[in-house]
Amino acid sequence: MAATDGSDPVVAVEDVTFAYGEKVAVEDVSLTIEDGDFLGLIGPNGSGKTTLLQLMLGLNRPDSGSVELFGEPASTFDAGERIGYVAQRSTDRGEAMPVTVREVVTMGRFAHAGRSRLTAEDHEAVTTALETVGIRSLGDRRISDLSGGQRQRAFIARALASEADLLALDEPTVGVDAESRDRFYGLLDDLNRRGITIILIEHDVGVLTKHVNKVACVNRTLYHHGDTVSFLESDALAEIYGPSHGILEHDHP
């Protein structure tokens, strides 16, 4: 993976506002994500989380304000191989893909190969990615034959094969059983320790806060952005969900 130069944040959002027609989805949001952060992005349904993530990745352009990726304007950022994005419900779409797991992961090398044929180095990167997420033995299986948790790993392996520096995941554990979710979070923890910056939208706040080191709490605008301890000590959850909302404790190994 390419390293950042240490001077620019991975993502810099400044005074960003975005609307779908007359409906404002994100308003006056400013935040930065530093190299090596594991950021949890939380908020109620319809709060603008996915929209904000897409703005961060340059998939949408803000109506006002600016977004930079690795020190460059997100709207013109062209090193897409540095970003691994697993969109909401993307694992569901895997049910209809008539391809093998290895073929899905190999897609992550296309940005490196360009119009050239894949090299031995490309195929080695695919094998390494499969090993990293623990599904090398499933390489020849159809992606549609895998469980939801296994498909998650395949899509993350695709991002790893591209040598991504930033991994962005939009509610990847929806519909996944608790045991698979625990293993999945263990994988994310390991990837983050290896130096990959992660942005994660997760509906289970109690689980999320046990793993991330930063939290951005949004409901159209930003209510909190900081380390996990300061978030847990803040009133941000009560402000966006109401005073009855609490963080459930979960016992995990």
Radius of gyration of the chain (CA): 18
Domain count, the chain: 1
Determine how many CB atoms are found less than 10 A away from the CB of residue 137.
10
Whether 200 is covered by a domain: the verdict is: yes
Whether 211 is covered by a domain: the verdict is: yes
Whether 112 is covered by a domain: the verdict is: yes
Contact between 41 and 200 (Cβ < 8 Å): yes
CATH number at residue 198: 3.40.50.300
Amino acid 200: pLDDT: 96
3-state secondary structure of 152: helix
Amino acid 248: pLDDT: 47
Residues whose CB is less than 8 angstroms from the CB of residue 120 and which lie 6 or more positions away in sequence, other chains included:
none
Amino acid 1: pLDDT: 45
Determine how many CB atoms are found less than 10 A away from the CB of residue 28.
14
pTM given for the model: 0.84
Whether 2 is covered by a domain: the verdict is: no
Whether 146 is covered by a domain: the verdict is: yes
Q: How would DSSP label each residue in 187-235?
A: HHHHHHHTT-EEEEE-S-HHHHTTT-SEEEEEESEEEEEEEHHHHHHSS
**Strands ordered across the beta sheet of 38-42:** 83-86, 166-170, 197-201, 38-42, 214-219, 221-227
Determine how many CB atoms are found less than 10 A away from the CB of residue 182.
17
pLDDT in tens, the chain (253 residues): 444 455 799 999 999 999 999 999 999 999 999 999 999 999 999 999 999 999 999 999 999 999 999 999 999 998 888 998 888 765 555 556 789 999 999 998 887 766 678 889 999 999 999 998 889 999 999 999 988 888 888 988 988 888 889 999 998 877 777 787 888 889 899 999 999 999 999 888 888 899 999 999 999 999 999 999 999 999 998 888 876 565 544 443 3
Whether 142 is covered by a domain: the verdict is: yes
Residue 162's domain comprises 11-241
Measure the CA–CA gap between 146 and 162, rounded to whole angstroms: 22
Measure the CA–CA gap between 21 and 134, rounded to whole angstroms: 44
Whether 6 is covered by a domain: the verdict is: no
Measure the CA–CA gap between 116 and 86, rounded to whole angstroms: 26
Whether 249 is covered by a domain: the verdict is: no
